Structure 1
């Protein structure tokens, strides 16, 4: 059973959670050894917020209206800032995909693991009041969304950014 948080208009736990996620995620990226050129890094840092906005504006607005983000049914400036907490995830997802040399069928397992971590994060966001489900939406319904988003991110990386080894003929 999900915790119901009434709407509020105060700076409290959900805003601090967002700030903590942003600082923690960007701090981790800062301390990880650099693997990518600036353009690639920026791409992955922007894909998380972009995909979050796309899916929220597909699922959280009419006609579906399956959940609310933030302290009210409408969007506020802080709700927009909350999307930046997704910025580090795309980068870290690709970073460890390369660092761990994930290949072949292990890619599916890797995506499933990251989808489960995303579900855990969403569950925490529900608990602190960032997301408020409505109209019958359940956490379980987010699994295919995360699986799709992470698969898409990896596909884009492999197609446009992965440095391919040179053929020495």
Structure 2
């Protein structure tokens, strides 16, 4: 038996939050000086979405089913927009890393800072109703997930775009 949980049935704070995050993120990307090739740009933009989808469909669906996205426990059309919310973060994560010229040890605190920011954004998402935790899930459980995702994100960027190919 798969009962649908309805958290909300109006267009309100959670939808406006998602729209605001997408618009502000894309505007930020638009005004920043260009640092990447088109391939690198697409990689950084899409990586956030891909990681969001992977983890949403790993821990956010049965058998784990630790949280729901949006107004209902089943997926709705607007939930697709919530994945677009991740687009700017993937880009900005790599952009700032490259802009600061971080290497070696400095990568560790950078990932830790982004993990804390990610938990903060997730907390805001909880407050406005974008996410709804279930089955005892807590925000602290997201910390190792963010540490892992961001480490893999940087690793993949370095594998696919070694320094000598970046034209910097």
TM-score (norm 2): 0.93
Query: Deviation of residue 163 (structure 1)?
Result: 3.2
Q: Over residues 49-70 of structure 1, what are the superposed CA-to-partner deviations in whole Å (9 max), with x where a residue is unaligned? A: 1110110110011110101110
2: CA distance, partners of 1:165 / 1:11: 46
**Equivalence for 1:126:** 126
2: CA distance, partners of 1:11 / 1:94: 33
**Equivalence for 1:112:** 112
**Equivalence for 1:63:** 63
**Equivalence for 2:31:** 31
- Residues 162, 30 of structure 1: alpha-carbon distance in 2 compared, 3 angstrom cutoff: farther
After superposition, the CA RMSD in angstroms is 1.3
2: CA distance, partners of 1:154 / 1:8: 37
**Equivalence for 2:18:** 18
TM-score (norm 1): 0.92
Are 1:77 and 2:81 matched, yes or no?
no
Aligned ranges 1:138-157 → 2 under 5 Å? 138-157=138-157
2: CA distance, partners of 1:80 / 1:9: 17
**Equivalence for 1:3:** none
**Equivalence for 1:54:** 54
2: CA distance, partners of 1:153 / 1:138: 24
Query: Deviation of residue 37 (structure 1)?
Result: 1.0
Secondary structure class of the residue paired with 1:132: strand
Query: Deviation of residue 115 (structure 1)?
Result: 0.4
Query: Deviation of residue 8 (structure 1)?
Result: 1.1
User: Which shifted more, 7-16 or 111-120?
Assistant: 7-16
Are 1:43 and 2:30 matched, yes or no?
no
1: CA distance, partners of 2:84 / 2:116: 20
Unaligned runs of 5+ in 2: 1-5
2: CA distance, partners of 1:134 / 1:140: 14
- Residues 165, 45 of structure 1: alpha-carbon distance in 2 compared, 3 angstrom cutoff: closer
2: CA distance, partners of 1:84 / 1:23: 10
Secondary structure class of the residue paired with 1:65: coil
